Amino acid sequence: MPNPKRRHSKARRDRRRTHDALETMSSTNCANCGVAKLPHRVCPSCGHYRGKQAVRVAAN
């Protein structure tokens, strides 16, 4: 397997890595209880999804 003849510069390395950063995840508020949750997922606080009770949540 061939090896590089010359060392790549730090600028070239960093340009390659410009797209590797993680993006912040978006969040929405639950329509039922108002707690922040991930979109298209059941609310972990109240268990509602799209206006209906999807999962029973244990009382704390």
User: How far is the CA of 12 from the CAs of 4, 18, 20, 26, 49, in angstroms?
Assistant: 14, 10, 14, 31, 46
- Per-residue pLDDT in tens (0 to 9) along the chain, 60 residues: 899 899 999 999 999 999 999 999 999 999 999 999 999 999 999 999 999 999 998 875
Query: Looking at residue 60, what is its pLDDT?
Result: 59
Q: Is the pTM of this model over 0.75?
A: no
Counts for the chain of helices (H) and strands (E), in that order? 1, 4
Tokens 């010359």 -> residue: 6
